[in-house]
Amino acid sequence: MKKLLILLFPLIFWVCAEKSPYTPSITQTTIDDIQFGLSGTFEVATWNIEFFPKQFNTTVENVRRVMLAIDAEVYALQEISNRSYFYQLIDEINEADTVETWVGFRAGGSSTWGELAYIIKTSVVEIVQEPYERFTSEWSAFPRAPYILEVSYEGEEIIVINNHLKCCGNGTIDYGNNNDEEYRRLRAIQLLYDYINDVFQDKNVIVVGDFNDELQDNPENNIFWEFIDDPAQFQFTDMGIAQDPTQRSWSYPLWPSHLDHILINDELFDEFLLTGSQIKTIRIDDYMDGGFSEYDMTTSDHRPVGIRLQFD
């Protein structure tokens, strides 16, 4: 075996040295090879698909293939700018998937604003209540109102709350300043915390989205502290991802930072501890010949983050 490896090494080196950024990779993996969802588990993926669709039909095709490969029950999406292409995506998913049935919902009507949206596998989950918005009058805290979906999976009712908070800032909370980006995000988190405790305290709750902020900030400048400081009731399932010293699992490589989070309440703690459960950033760019530069050009600047939950 050692001799074989020695003989092959020059050939492998020559292929690597000559390969241009967009030639096929040695492994020949494609985005159809992505695996995440399993039979008998419930998956939610949050994904900011920047300016969807960035490259029109190319983006639609990529997203369709990714979603069918990830195979989540619910996709909570951000920055869905074009309503027509969004429903084209739903049609193409259903055409390609001869087994499952999918439906989609997008906030904002026909607006060209980067809206929140859902794509749901209705052959597996039942929609208890179609998506609805809350805090529509709290524009400072929520430039995009939280988009709430209620579904049932194998008799378990699950509440998904999709968010896209205000971007930007300097990393420091200017308390009481309604023009400060960090303070606006802090107010959004405080409102969500109270809302979940008031309305969904005994329900299975999953809060997802592009929060435009990092979990590992120090307490005085951590917009998420309301949730982090209440570990008996809430858990950021992706805290380990946020603390990854290699940064390889971060969802927003351009900064780099990890901005796309999945929070669960205590009703789901036991399920998340089961062996079939998982939290993962899905590195779609690893499955593209051009890597992240191709992914960013054709699809998005954020990677999706998915949670898989096993229910007894």
Give the pLDDT means over successive 10-residue stretches in the chain (312 positions): 33 30 53 97 98 98 98 98 98 98 97 97 98 98 98 98 98 97 98 98 98 98 98 98 98 97 98 98 98 98 98 90
**Residue 1: per-residue pLDDT:** 37
Sorted by where each starts, the structural domains of the chain and their CATH numbers stand as 39-309 (3.60.10.10)
CA 133/CA 149 separation, integer angstroms: 9
> According to the model, what pLDDT value does residue 7 have?
33
Give pLDDT, residue 2: 33
Write b or e for each residue in 87-114: b if 16 or more Cβ atoms lie within 10 A of its Cβ, otherwise e: ebbbebbeeebeeeebebbbbbeeeeeb
Q: Determine the Cα–Cα distance for residues 99 and 96; give it in Å rounded to an integer.
A: 9
Please give the backbone phi and psi of residue 108, each rounded to the nearest 5 degrees, phi first: 90, 5
Which element (helix H / strand E) includes 39?
none
Output the pLDDT for position 262.
Answer: 99
The pLDDT value given to residue 312: 83
